[in-house]
Amino acid sequence: MEKLLSVVVSVYNEEKALEEFYRETTGVLDTTSWDYELIFVNDGSTDGSLKVLAHLAESDFRAKIVSFSRNFGHEAAMIAGLDYSRGDAIICMDADLQHPPECIPGILKLFEEGYEVINMVRTRNKTAGLIKNITSSGFYWLINHISDVHFEANASDFFAVSRPVAQVLKNNYREKVRFLRGYVQNVGFKKTTMEYEARARVAGESKYSMKKLFVFSLNTILCFSNMPLKLGIYAGIFSALLGLAVMAYTLLTRRGAPSGYATIVVLICFMFAMMFVLIGIIGEYIAILFSELKDRPVYIVERTENIDR
């Protein structure tokens, strides 16, 4: 029996790239022995992306559309794609062609060898720029040092999982604040990595600003580590040691309390700053708990095309 591959494609304002993505990807898929479906998840695009997708779906029943009622974010789009996929294997990738379709035959070969999780790791990314490459490396260094789980450096949202792994992700990883590529790397099963070189975008600009990347990185750290909560303990120990040092200075110099308005102001500002940082960290954790407690939907689907075909 012919195996079915589901290719999940996150789409947000990619009107100019979609037809080229479709041509390249179907050209590669047609050379394989697998049957396939292309699940385009329209994440509330405000340009003509949905119109282009509708044209593709009309001309090819294997092109399927899941369109959100508004923008819910890239993570929600990938979760929706997994929810609607029917394949024996699922590949998640972006529509801007930075994730090369020519890697698909190699991914399928790894599936046929028995692997169930394939992490795609960038060898280099010339298109990202120096600042993003440095911040990305710093993020992975930090998360690997404060988290109990290990993340592959330069892993991306380009990954592949088998049907059993997809079922685990669909049923057990429904957090409102999530890091899907992190779950994929640490869900277990027989896994491997495959390197690729990120291509330049075929059209348009990156939808991730530095602000969005910072918020995303912060949420990831809070989801995978409780180390920030322990900063209160370390701050308390540091404050106690600082108090002892000031007391020792006072006794040894026999001059009473340390003189100097500037010294007092600096110490007070430092201690209050530390306290507010810790309160802010606790507030971020509470915000995540509040999001989970409200249990609002990860996404809302407005329309679908070809899903039942």
Q: What is the pLDDT of residues 80-122, one digit of tens each?
A: 999 999 989 999 988 888 888 998 999 999 998 889 988 888 8
Q: Let me know if residue 252 belongs to a domain.
A: no
Residue 236 lies in a domain: no
CATH number at residue 79: 3.90.550.10
Secondary structure (H, E, C), 54-123: HHHHHHCCCEEEEEECCCCCHHHHHHHHHHHCCCCEEEEEECCCCCCHHHHHHHHHHHHCCCCEEEEEEC
Parallel, antiparallel or unpaired: strands 155-162 and 117-122 = antiparallel
List, for residues 174-187, the tens digit of each pLDDT value: 777 677 777 777 77
Number of domains in the chain: 1
Q: Is residue 271 domain-resident? A: no
Distance of CA 238 to the CA centre of its chain: 34
pLDDT recorded at residue 198: 76
Q: Which helix (H) or strand (E) is 184 found in, with range? A: helix 180-186
Structure tokens at 153: 């450096």
CB count within 10 Å of CB 104 equals: 22
Give the whole-number percent of the chain exceeding pLDDT 70: 67
pLDDT value for 8: 93
Q: Does residue 14 form part of some domain?
A: yes
Residue-level pLDDT, tens digit, the chain, 309 residues: 678 999 999 998 888 889 999 999 999 999 988 999 999 999 888 888 999 999 999 888 999 999 999 988 888 888 899 999 998 999 998 888 888 899 899 999 999 888 998 888 887 655 555 566 666 666 666 666 666 666 676 677 788 899 999 888 888 877 776 777 777 777 778 888 888 887 776 665 555 556 666 666 666 666 666 677 666 667 767 766 776 676 676 666 655 555 555 566 667 767 777 777 777 777 777 777 776 677 778 788 888 888 876
How crowded is residue 118: how many other Cβ atoms within 10 Å of its Cβ?
23
- 293 part of a folded domain: no
Spatial distance between the Cα atoms of 99 and 181, rounded to a whole number of angstroms: 14
Range of the domain at 76: 4-131+153-205+301-305
**Whole-model pTM?**
0.72
| Whole-number pLDDT of residue 44 | 87
| 198 part of a folded domain | yes
Residue 274: its pLDDT value, please?
73
Specify the pLDDT at position 225.
Answer: 65
Give a yes or no: residue 272 inside a domain: no
- The answer to whether 97 and 202 are in contact (CB under 8 A) is yes
The DSSP call for residue 145 is H
Report if residue 56 sits inside a domain.
yes
| Half-sphere exposure for 287 (CA within 13 Å, toward CB) | 10
